[in-house]
Amino acid sequence: GQQVMQIPQYQHVQEGEDFTTYCNSSTTLSNIQWYKQRPGGHPVFLIQLVKSGEVKKQKRLTFQFGEAKKNSSLHITATQTTDVGTYFCAPTDSWGKLQFGAGTQVVVTP
């Protein structure tokens, strides 16, 4: 399946700071989805990116798909305690099969 590597694996952030998590693939991706999993919860869909160079924003979250469609990033500005959780990227194939990266676990210090 399509393998993606997420970095960093862990991210400790001071409340109010910005951070970025990255998702990299050795192959060209058709599209990529991002999910968030709160501690003790299940993954919840955030967004899907399809086009080369696409940028989408959700309030303080900015998602980007690379020009070559081999990488993606999630940037969070002014981190809040509600941002705690693990963020996963997941490319899909033509059948809709989703394969997740290992995730970036985010811990926010007040």
Partner 1 sequence: DVKVTQSSRYLVKRTGEKVFLECVQDMDHENMFWYRQDPGLGLRLIYFSYDVKMKEKGDIPEGYSVSREKKERFSLILESASTNQTSMYLCASSFSQGMGTEAFFGQGTRLTVV
Part of the chain binding partner 1 (CB under 8 A), chosen from 25-33, 52-60, 61-69, 71-79: 25-33
| 81 lies in the binding site for partner 1 (CB under 8 A) | no
Please select the residue that binds partner 1; options are 11, 83, 103, 106, rule is CB under 8 A: 103
Beta strand segments in the chain, E: 4-7, 10-14, 19-25, 32-37, 44-49, 55-58, 61-65, 71-76, 85-91, 104-109
Contact footprint for partner 1 (CB under 8 A): 1, 6, 9, 30-31, 33, 35, 42-45, 48, 50, 88, 90, 92-103
